[in-house]
Structure 1
């Protein structure tokens, strides 16, 4: 008996048991409807709980030591800033255009003993080009107004060589200003920047070079900074690469321009460089109409395609601003959610639940007030929206393209800037804040790496890390492969199996041999999905074609784009229409869900916020969609619910509608018109935002396929006819 048991042969009458993971997968597929409901509800609840799960920010890198040294910025530097401010305003009141402000900045930079040079750049013309989508070549178009005169912008750059450094690292300070129409706020920004730059030229503790970029923003802040960064990282080895005089025109005589730019010290027209950029600060003064109790600081951190700087950079700014200078720190918030009644109700329920859990166990830290939850949700929604948009919220985004951590700081005084005493106190706080941040970055022995790069902000001092906000997305995405497998295997619990595919009205019959073939089941459905995705790629390239024609109004461009897209889709259906009739709607839905889950997974790697918002729209659309003919066979209540849900999702899930709703909720519904979609699409492709590709390569095909399934078998009959 022992020999028989150990011979390794299977016992007669016993079936070999499959592996545990196979049995678990079969169980999930068999109960796909229940799994989908549970995962979607759990994912929605987890998403609403993100503000509750947010943690307080902390400085991860001990070497930063924010606030460990007493500030050196004093009232003497404030006097110097005010003096520089008055000189700029005097030059501006004289209606002098061109290089007067640049010459003034350059003269003062030379006077403090720093190196100076001027950087010329072309204004950018953002134009969609499909072959240059993920490259910066798109933004190098030169705008030539006539053959004899090409317009240029002019940046003034000062460099302080660190007395304790080896020249391998640098900190960049950026102050944008409009050289042709400079205001008091911009002049104050330049005065603050120069006073800090003058102070840093005298200190002995600098271990990193300081670069001050006075960016000429007459053609846009981002354009000036981006052009300088391109030349900084991609040097041109030409004989006249750094010279200013060739081809420059500021609506004044070229020779007179060259005379204006001559300042003390040689080499003002030779591009100079410092070390590798450790960090960059873009700061400016903004005088707001609404006055507050304290001077405020607004932080902008979002860069292209959802990139964020290292959280430690924001942490040290927040710590120094609040605990050292007494400033009120703010970040972006979605104001429409602050007044939402349903959000206040959810906050009150969570507050009540927190009190209950605290009574059960005082160690459970689930305590949040309704007001904190509402404000945290509004800030979180704003953070997700601007990351998903993929457009930088300031000129700091140009630095992130070169993997340099950078943020924009907007300083706002509580009183009018005309009051000199209040202005001096404001300058003192702002100068000490910038000095403290520079001191902390100066202490770093390596680049920022300790803290998070993937996070959402729910407050200036609270964040949600990647390990937490991945949970709602994973829960929403989990049902898709399960439902796809269930539909393919015929265990979808929806009433029709794949063995009855050819009995559907409007489908062309096939032989039993073809039905038994495993490849035939999904091949025809895959052809339909491929056809729709190919059409979506063509639609995404149409704006480049339309931009070549003299169509000016956004509404006209949008209507032409929509008409061409519909015509091309009809042509595709006439050519490949037979493929859509050879498969049932279940197989088509199975392949569509597989394609959607793959697209969302890939998008989460490029821009997670876009994938998160897309999953909230695509997942319910994919799971609930059924042919209207099938829904009419259900009971009265179920039929009404299914029809309403499918039609609502079909309207809200349409990419233009979804994009305009998001823009209206986050910004202003008054701007969300018909032509606004073309302007928003133009904004996305001109900034090379991956959201544009997601909307047209993933979301739009999924919506068209869902509409195809919703109208099945009407489309099949028309194609067959």
Structure 2
């Protein structure tokens, strides 16, 4: 980098512990725990080079990231470094740059995301930790740099302090797959960040246009492959295709019909996009940038032939470099103050999407019945309350606030849910425990805490409700529960809309159909039995472990699934501060 007249700096960092903490979800992205057993041997070093824009004012910058593991260099990493170096060397000579360019070679020996996140923390919000003191007193800077083949005192372009450019306008993470595609050169785009955050849609559109029309690459986004072979989905797509053909026969200007194959692929991509956003876990190291509201995506180029067997490496580097150059040119010409685009969307392909103005409509239609039903149940509960002519005004006022008793019961259940969500913090302290053991202990402690809560507060969940006045009490309890569910789904839609959408699909039917099983059994009618069966099935499907295994089976298959996978999944949710953890 220094040979290209770039400002080169070395950023040293230590691996951070992904340990569960009760308040970790509410902390900032800069928070984290550093291992106490730190030493110079565990040091990670990021290399950052900065090119100052000839026509810029230093207020904006574009970031290129290439993960690099110095202890195990693969041919894919070598090619990604070659692509980034070719682009960086070109940008050091051009005169049209209006934004600074930063090339970050991230030390990925402790994980790609960890290295990028550590550099971003220092760039955006520098802080002084105990690790910094140890580093300055015991670690020799020149030795760490010499391991990378550089000498801090022989290079005039090597800066000792941490160098910064302007505000980051966009970031591109460049990777090359280690395995060949065997069919054609392709480009995989990974846009999802934490809690469903997505980059500016124009960034994906630019990459898609340049990759397809300029470099002849096949652009790919994630799909739920289990839906690609679904017969019922293909049949549904065939119906829509027939309707489109009929519409075009009536009026040639009506062109809303699509083929069945395109419908199936779009549905599989839409389901995958909804799942990845709802999961709340970043799909690549670009997610660290979205924590600071920087548009970023991960581009993984998958060559036709494996990089270790590739013959025309220079041609491959040229194609990749031209693609990255085109994206940088587009971002360089972007004036953000006059720019508008989508940030809330679901992908149906690399070039098509569903905007928030469309997919918020089914979500609104799902949750609108909840407050209406809650108001109706509250009115019925008030009417079913027996009135006494000799009661005083104080008694009437007391009856009007009778719903507070139901609210107390709902609050007790939510307090128990909060206790269950905090139990993994204590389970995590068990030494040398397996995920299956942790899951079992978590389940036992959850059931035990429910029993304790029942005996302490007299929880009503085990009470029978056979009498007529108790039916009014059940209506009041259901009214408060539905109101709470409506408020929770509305708040979740602000944090992560995809999570709220998936949660509404599971929670709303249960809220609408929920009724004591004892009432349905005593009714002894076909309608009551069907309703009881639906309640049992929906309750079983909405149970978090069952819902997880069903989603995993649909997305990855059921092969090799065990109960320990659920604990690993929950652990990943709290590690990434995912809002989905509040559901499970």
TM-score (norm. length: structure 2): 0.92
Aligned to 1:215: 106
- Cα contact 2:62–2:99 (8 A) shared by 1: yes
* Whole-Å separation in 1 of the counterparts to 2:421 and 2:331: 43
Q: Is the 8 A contact 2:2 2:157 kept in 1?
A: no
* Cα separation, 1, equivalents of 2:194 and 2:430: 29
- Deviation per CA, 1:332-374, whole angstroms, max 9, x where unpaired? 0000010111111211111122222223333333211111111
* Pairing 1:170–2:58 present: no
Q: Distance in 1 between matches of 2:373 and 2:568?
A: 37
After superposition, what is the alpha-carbon deviation per residue over 1:631-672, rounded to whole angstroms, capped at 9, x for unaligned? 124455324422321111111011121123223322332354
Q: Residue 482 of structure 1 corresponds to which residue in structure 2?
A: 372
Q: Distance in 1 between matches of 2:128 and 2:524?
A: 76
Residue 663 (structure 1) aligned with residue 555 (structure 2): no
C-alpha distance after superposition, 1:107-159 (max 9, x if no partner):
xx11111111111011111111122323246852222446x656110011111
Contact 2:179 2:305 in 1 (8 A): no
Contact 1:245 1:254 in 2 (8 A): no
User: How many Å apart are 1:448 and its aligned residue?
Assistant: 8.3
Aligned alpha-carbon RMSD (Å): 2.8
Residue in 2 that maps onto 1:135: 27
Answer whether contact 1:113 1:201 (CA < 8 A) is retained: yes
1:238, distance to aligned residue in structure 2 (A)? 10
What is the CA–CA distance in structure 1 between the aligned matches of 2:459 and 2:148, rounded to whole Å?
A: 71
* Residue 325 (structure 1) aligns with: 215
Are 1:531 and 2:531 an aligned pair? no
Report if aligned partners of 1:242, 1:270 keep a CA contact under 8 Å in 2: no
- Counterpart in 2 of 1:315? 205
Residue 3 of structure 2 corresponds to: 111
Equivalences for residues 633-672 of structure 1 within 5 A:
633-634=522-523, 636-672=525-561
1:287 aligns with 2:178: yes
1:77-96 equivalences under 5 Å are none
Distance 1:352 1:519 in 2: 57
Query: Alignment length, in residue pairs?
Result: 572
Could you tell which deviates more after superposition, 630-639 or 595-604? 630-639
How far does the alpha carbon of each residue in 1:4-31 deviate from its partner, in whole angstroms, 9 at most, with x for none? Answer: xxxxxxxxxxxxxxxxxxxxxxxxxxxx
Distance 1:199 1:574, change over 3 A: same
**Any idea what the Cα deviations from partners look like across 1:381-411, whole Å, max 9, x if unmatched?**
0000010011110110111111110100001
Residues 449, 593 of structure 1: CA spacing in aligned structure 2 closer, same or farther, 3 A cutoff?
A: farther
In 1, Cα distance between equivalents of 2:310 and 2:148 = 36
Alignment-derived partner of residue 348 in structure 2: 458
Q: Distance in 1 between matches of 2:30 and 2:538?
A: 36
| 1:43-442 mapped onto 2 (5 Å cutoff) | 109-136=1-28, 140-145=32-37, 151-236=42-127, 246-248=137-139, 261-262=151-152, 263-265=154-156, 267-292=158-183, 294-418=184-308, 421-442=311-332
Local SS of the residue matching 2:101: strand
The Cα shift of 1:235 comes to 3.0
Task: Quote the offset at 1:437 in angstroms.
Answer: 0.4
C-alpha offsets along residues 293-328 of structure 1, whole Å, 9 cap, x if unaligned?
x31000000011100000011111111111111110
SS of the residue corresponding to residue 166 of structure 1 reads: coil
Structure 1 residues 249 and 289, CA gap change in structure 2 (3 angstroms): farther
Name the SS of the counterpart of 1:682 in structure 2.
helix
Shift in CA distance, 255/417, structure 1 to aligned 2, threshold 3 Å? closer
Aligned to 2:457: 576
Cα gap change, 1:231 to 1:448, in 2 (>3 Å): farther
Mapped contact 1:524–1:579 kept (Cα < 8 A): no
CA 1:243–1:200 in structure 2 vs 1: closer, same or farther (change >3 Å)? farther
- Are 1:548 and 2:440 matched, yes or no? no
Could you say what secondary structure the match of 1:612 adopts? helix
The Cα offsets for residues 550-586 of structure 1, whole Å up to 9 and x where unpaired, read as: 2511111111111111111112222222666677221
| TM, length-normalised to structure 1 | 0.75
State the distance in 2 between where 1:460 and 1:663 align: 24
Q: Distance in 1 between matches of 2:308 and 2:507?
A: 53
Q: Which whole-Å CA distance do the structure 2 matches of 1:554 and 1:460 have between them?
A: 37
**Residues 617, 653 of structure 1: 8 Å contact kept:** yes
Query: Over residues 216-266 of structure 1, what are the superposed CA-to-partner deviations in whole Å (9 max), with x where a residue is unaligned?
Result: 00000001000001101123589996996644499x977975995435226
| Structure-1 separation of matches of 2:136 and 2:255 | 65
Distance in 1 of aligned mates of 2:194 and 2:148: 37
User: Partners in 2 of 1:182 and 1:188 — Cα distance?
Assistant: 10
Contact kept? 1:243, 1:269, Cα under 8 Å: no
Cα distance 1:579–1:236, how it changes in 2: closer, same or farther (>3 A)? Answer: closer
Distance in 2, matches of 1:258 and 1:179, equals 9
* Separation (CA, whole Å) in 2 of partners of 1:350 and 1:445: 41
- Which shifted more, 168-177 or 517-526? 517-526
**Does the 8 A contact of 1:527 with 1:579 survive in 2?**
no
| Bigger Cα Rg | 1
1:663-720 Cα shifts (integer Å, max 9, x gaps): 3322332354211111111100011111112x14xxxxxxxxxxxxxxxxxxxxxxxx
Q: Secondary structure at the match of 2:297?
A: strand
The 1:402/1:274 distance shift into structure 2, 3 A limit, reads same
Instruction: Flag structure 2 segments of 5+ consecutive residues without an equivalent.
Output: 464-469
Indicate conservation of the 8 Å contact 1:144/1:150, yes or no. no
1:488 is displaced (CA, Å) by 1.1
Cα distance, 1:448–1:143 mapped onto 2, change above 3 Å: farther
Q: Distance in 1 between matches of 2:505 and 2:64?
A: 40
Distance change (3 Å), C-alpha of 1:671 and 1:471:
farther
Question: Which of 440, 446, 468 is the aligned partner of 2:358?
Answer: 468
Quick one: structure 1 residues 564 and 138, their matched pair in 2 at CA, closer, same or farther if it must change by over 3 Å? farther
Assess, with a 3 A threshold, how the Cα gap between structure 1 residues 245 and 182 changes in structure 2: closer, same or farther. Answer: farther
Shift of 1:629: 2.1
Match of 1:228, SS state, is helix
Query: Secondary structure of 1:270's partner?
Result: coil
Report the secondary structure of 1:133's partner residue.
helix
Task: Determine the C-alpha separation between the residues in 2 that align with 1:618 and 1:237.
Answer: 45
CA positional deviation for 1:288: 2.5
Confirm whether residue 684 of structure 1 aligns to residue 576 of structure 2: no
Structure 2 Cα separation of the partners of residues 391 and 599 of structure 1: 21
